[in-house]
Structure 1
Amino acid sequence: MENSTPKGHPKGLYLLFTTEMWERFSYYGMRAIFTLFLIKALMFDKETASGIYGSYTSLVYLTPIIGGYFADNIWGNRKSIFVGGIMMAIGQLFMFLSASVYQNQSLALILMIVGLTCLIFGNGFFKPNISTLVGQLYAETDKRKDAAYTIFYMGINLGAFIAPLLCGFLGERYDSAGEAIPGAFKWGFLCACIGMIISVITFEMRKNKVLVTPEGEPIGVVPNVQRLSADQMGEAQTGKKSKNNIYIGVLVGMILLVLLRFFVFMAEDESTIDMVNNYISSAIFAISISIPLIIITDKSLSKIEKQRIWVIFIVAFFVIFFWAAFEQAGASLTFFAAEQTNRDILGFSMPASWFNSFNAVFIVLLAPLISILWTKLAKKNLEPASPYKQAFGLLFLALGYVFIAIGVDGVEPGVKVSIIWLTGLYFIHTIGELFLSPIGLSMVNKLAPVRFASLLMGVWFLSTAAANNFAGFLSSFYPDPVLNATEVRALEKEFTTNTYKCYLVADEVKTATIADTVKVIDEKGKAVEVKFSDIKFDRLLPEVKNKEDKKTIEANAKLIQEKKIEFAKRAVNKKKSFLGIQITDLKSFFWLFVYLAGGSAVILFLLSKLLVKMMNGVK
């Protein structure tokens, strides 16, 4: 059996590798400058820009459900990929046009919404279908599949690494005063558009030559449902009516849910951004329940097919915990990089955002090694089944947080730690990602019934959408030093005498580190960031009369500074809790993810034996 496995990989794999690399170049290139464009060109505040960005990235992982359904039942994989690629190229073009007329904010906003809509739906048609084609290049029993998805995954990260460097270089420009040049963002979006066009052209030029089965038959040409045998086709038709009824029920249910959320938000007087975010969370929640329900209740499914689909659903649930912890890279870990990581390298202060490229670099370096590992283990019949691999992926994620928790143990707010701790975390997380993400893509491809292949790939990506929402919630527990106005006023009162008074200057102050700043909640509930030095201890008398008064002022000023630092530490140590886990400092915050990821790893590992049995011979 060992000798029956062909050497190397089909040429089609490298076409899909290149196509996906350029598509990811387009996506990550646009994403690298998107929020800067919102703030610097369209003049949104950071809160609004963050809300738009979060809504966009969540919806990107919802639409693969639609793209998967179209490929399975209407267009086939190839046409879906082509349509998705064209839509994304058009979307990037509209982003370019939006940035070109940024002075006219209303027109720029309309063009941007059109662009984002095209990008969201284009990604839905493109992403699940190109992933599905990878598996179709191989025979069902071919042991090279996991290695193939690992190579494919390396293409994703190669594009993700290059894109911010080039698109960011073109789009993020500054004048002599250090202010961003709003008109430059269009060139970054145009670069992303060109990347998407290259992706489509590359795919269309080579698809007919290399996208074939081991027997030489073309793949992805017809809808997956047409690849069924006569018996399977009859089974599919049997459950068609019941499936349509479920779709109608789900549609009605989602409309009612949206209406309910709307009236609740109106009653609570929620902000627009909160309303949008909660709408998206509601949609993800509804779809996360409804789509699996639609699939698993299809009467055409055999007992074995249902068991295999349940494996996909169960593992997808645990994957939510993986990505919720992993995606802290764009949230709390970025805060940590900016505030408490020493980024000075040979006199150069590395931007905190550059840490986001570390994962892509490690993927490119480690993916070939992991691919070789799976191939060698497969030849010796020692390769673990997919659920075990993904349990190990969660375990590596937990170990990454253990590593950084050690680095911040006993570290006071504002004290910067070595770059080695955050770098080490990303290195360990990358190993975990390679154990989980490409293996998951391969697992879905191997377990999904042909007629549901792309739809179930969309379900897999849906777990990432849910995880992104969860990641934002967990990031809110990041221990940020915040003083309550009442405490500040108490401090003022404590050191107010007939001669001296301590008071707060709440003017806007631009600062960079927690060591020099503190956030104060004023009486209106607004967070104001001020320097410690702006909480002043001063004389009410116009002048110092003698040296003794001067010494008294200096002594009390020193005492006030100590009090301010004490308040800052006390604010950091205010207790927060999640599921009974007390979060008082950075160490306990990082241990929260150790518990979530580590606990998920243990449970998934214990379930793996049962899951392997439910896979009915598929490894």
Structure 2
Amino acid sequence: MTTLTATTPTSASNAAHPRGLYVLFATEMWERFSYYGMRALLVLYLVNALGYKRVDALEMYGIYTGLVYLTPIFGGWIADKYLGLRLTAVIGGTVMMLGHFAMAVPSLLHVALGLLIVGNGFFKPNTTSMVGELYDGPTDPRRDGAYTIFYMGINLGSFFSGLVCGTLGQKVGWDWGFGSAGVGMGIGLITLVAFQNILGRSGLKPGQRPIGAHNLPVILAFTAASIALVYGVLAVWPMLKGLLSGIPGWLSIAIGIAVIAIVIRLWSKLTAKPGQVTQPLTRAEWTRVAAVLILIVFVAFFWMGFEQAGGSMNLFADKQTDRHLGSFEIPATWFQSINPLLIFLLAPFFSMLWTANNKSRFPLPDVAKQGLGMIVLGLGFVVMFIAQNRANALGPVGPQWLFWVYALHTIGELMLSPVGLSLVSRAAPHRIAALLMGIWFIANGIANYFAGALEGILAGSGIPPYAFLLASSIGMGVLLLILTPMLNRMLQARDAVEAPDAPLQPALA
């Protein structure tokens, strides 16, 4: 019998989505509300409340947002190997909720950030994967639509986060802003547990019972272990940071490339089931992997620029933007809501645009779309560079400057991000597809770190950060367009006897 719940998967011929999708939609919406609400306040809190120097605040922002992209790899592994997706997500939500509430206590700042990083690792990859488990398999035609709906939940939470958490934090008190983020995470956690019967078996291992009181010892144990891990890392962080700072940049890149190559070679053996014969990558597969790794370098430059939104551009909104509407002063965090609002408005248009282009006589290669996205990002920094110079010379500028920067950056994101994720899922050899997607997100994490550390890196060079970003974004975009024919051939490389890879579930940033 066909139903609309996840207990019995809906027939692929039926266009209706399982009701469990909307449980996960609401859960993710509240989690993203908490994450982006806290992120909108972080740099402003460090500078305005705790007295951090601008460069130090931006570096801490970069370290935090960078590590947020790293921990989901471990959280996904723990879920797959031991706990199951649903229980791991509940643990992650619990740890993150504690982290948000701890942000309200200045002396617990570093502990709070650590808990948010660890909790995100448990939560983020597993709610995303649970969406896929609601459906009949990778060929279910409703899956892409499901992830589109799920992605809208992310943007809905992001849109309201700056308006609610930001307003409370800046107008009432920082503890109110951070506390509201914790409340949002708590609502998301309650939603997941209270309505889990609608999810059916999604997120549960074979024979595993739904989340209940019997799981409390495991949840408390992992929460306590997360707290202990954070304190342990904080104890050795100064020494670790000193060691890493002594490694030249070129050597770090060389080590990273070597590690990636070794891990790719070993991945299929490490993930093989007992008795399974593993085959080495063919020449054509290595060619596609090389093309993806080259693209990852370009994408890292994109996110290094894009993630200025929560850092330097957030401070520009706070310090150098005239935000007065009569007697009311617009909170600086409200500018963080422009991006998700424009994604809601523009995403359908870009979906139709790419569909029409792909059916035309002269379809634009995906690599070229990404190159154009980087150039559009650079145009946003042209506007930002002019606005910064005007503000330095004449005083605060009008809010329209930041609006156009965010608009251009959103257009660039829509041209690069969804296209890139789809490209990786198609080009990656099936047995290392998860690994390559993980490397893609690790590169995003590295880019987030450099987004925050950029001003410190450029200090003393005489190069204004926005001038560097406009040059790097446009320059890398033009270079990517030049390399498009070569990369397109590499991505399409196939062996004569190679079977096409199975379709993969979409991944979300």
With the length of structure 2 as denominator, give the TM-score of the two structures.
0.69
Q: 1:348 to 1:193 in 2, by over 3 A?
A: closer
Deviations along 1:99-151, whole A, 9 cap, x unmatched? 2xx5xxxxx33xx4443322111111222233334455474345665554444
Q: How many residues align?
A: 446
Q: What is the aligned counterpart of 2:85 among 77, 83, 90? A: 77
Equivalent residues of 1:171, 1:185 under 8 A apart = yes
User: How far 1:261 sits from its partner (Å)?
Assistant: 6.6
Tell me if 1:31 matches 2:39. yes
Q: Which amino acid is 2:175 matched to? A: K
The Cα of 1:611 is off from its aligned counterpart by 1.3
Q: Distance in 2 between matches of 1:379 and 1:210?
A: 37
Residue 221 in 1 paired to residue 204 in 2?
yes
Q: What is the rounded CA distance, in whole Å, between the counterparts of 2:355 and 2:20 in structure 1? A: 19
Q: How far apart are residue 326 of structure 1 and its match? A: 0.9
Q: CA deviation at 1:607?
A: 1.2
| Alpha-carbon separation, structure 2, partners of 1:190 and 1:284 | 39
Query: Partners of 1:308 and 1:71 in 2: how far apart?
Result: 29
Q: Is the CA contact (8 Å cut-off) linking 2:368 and 2:480 kept in structure 1?
A: no
**1:63/1:40 CA distance change after superposition, 3 Å:** same
Match for 2:120 among 119, 123, 144?
Answer: 123
Rg larger for: 1
Amino acid at match of 1:221: L
Q: Which residue of 2 aligns with 1:168?
A: 166
1:155 pairs with 127, 132, 153, which one?
153
Distance 1:363 1:618 in 2: 29
Is the contact between residue 132 and residue 453 of structure 1 (CA under 8 Å) also seen in structure 2? no
Q: How does 1:243-254 map to 2 (within 5 A)?
A: none
Q: Deviation at 1:23?
A: 0.7
Task: Tell me the equivalent position of 2:404.
Answer: 424
Alignment of 1:297 with 2:274, yes or no, is no
Distance 2:121 2:100 in 1: 15
- How far is the alpha carbon of 1:319 from its aligned partner? 1.6
1:567-599 Cα distance to aligned partner (Å, 9 max, x none) = xxxxxxx9846xxxxx6x966763443223443
Distance 1:78 1:442 in 2: 26
| 1:519-558 deviation digits (Å, cap 9, x = unpaired) | xxxxxxxxxxxxxxxxxxxxxxxxxxxxxxxxxxxxxxxx
Q: TM-score, normalised by structure 1?
A: 0.59
- Give the structure 1 partner of residue 95 of structure 2: 87
Partner of residue 452 from structure 2, selected from 472, 481, 498: 472
Distance 1:115 1:86 in 2: 13
What is the distance in 2 between the residues matched to 1:333 and 1:161?
17
How far residue 22 of structure 1 moved from its aligned partner, in angstroms, is: 0.8
| Preserved CA contact (<8 Å) 2:19 2:198 | no
- Normalized per residue, the structure richer in helix is 2
Instruction: Please state if 1:192 is matched with 2:172.
Output: no
Identity percentage of aligned residues? 41
Note the C-alpha offset of 1:386: 5.5
Deviation at 1:454, TM superposition (A): 5.7
Following superposition, the deviation at residue 324 of structure 1 comes to 0.8
The corresponding residue for 2:506 is: none
CA contact 2:371–2:478 (8 Å) conserved in 1:
no
Question: Which one-letter code corresponds to 1:159 in the other structure?
Answer: G
Listed one character per residue, the Cα deviations across residues 384-403 of structure 1 (whole Å, up to 9, x for unaligned) are 77555544433432343456
Cα distance change on mapping 1:82 and 1:416 into 2, 3 Å: closer
Structure with higher RCO (Cα < 8 A, 6+ apart): 2
| Greater shift in the superposed pair: 415-424 or 378-387 | 378-387
Superposed, which structure 2 residues align to 1:217-616 within 5 Å?
A: 218-222=201-205, 262=242, 290=259, 293-298=262-267, 299=269, 300=278, 303=281, 312-334=292-314, 336-337=316-317, 343-345=323-325, 350-371=330-351, 387=367, 389-402=369-382, 413-414=393-394, 419-442=399-422, 456-475=436-455, 576=462, 590-600=470-480, 602-603=482-483, 606-613=486-493, 616=500
Instruction: Give the Cα separation in 1 of the matches to 2:486 and 2:82.
Output: 40
- Which runs of 5 or more residues in structure 1 are unaligned? 103-107, 175-183, 212-217, 224-257, 269-277, 480-573, 578-582
- Taking a change above 3 Å as real, the CA distance of residues 134 and 279 of structure 1, as seen in their structure-2 partners, is farther
Question: Which stretch of structure 1 is more off in the superposition, 420-429 or 339-348?
Answer: 339-348
Q: Determine the C-alpha separation between the residues in 1 that align with 2:164 and 2:253.
A: 33
Alpha-carbon distance between aligned partners in 1 of 2:252 and 2:196, rounded to the nearest angstrom? 35
Contact map agreement 1:447 1:618 (CA 8 A) in 2: no
Q: Which residue of 2 aligns with 1:67?
A: 75
158-167 or 288-297: bigger deviation: 288-297
SS in 1 for 2:305: helix
The runs of 5 or more residues in structure 2 that have no matched partner are 1-11, 207-237, 270-277, 504-509
For 1:58 and 1:50, locate their aligned partners in 2 and report how far apart those are by CA, in whole Å: 12
Contact in 2 for aligned 1:391/1:605 (Cα 8 Å): no
Alpha-carbon distance in 1 for matches of 2:487, 2:136: 28
Distance in 1 (CA, whole Å) between partners of 2:80 and 2:326 is: 54
Q: Could you say what the CA RMSD is over the residues aligned between the two structures, in angstroms?
A: 4.6
1:201 is the counterpart of 2:190: yes
Counterpart in 2 of 1:55? Answer: 63
1:383: how far off?
Answer: 8.3
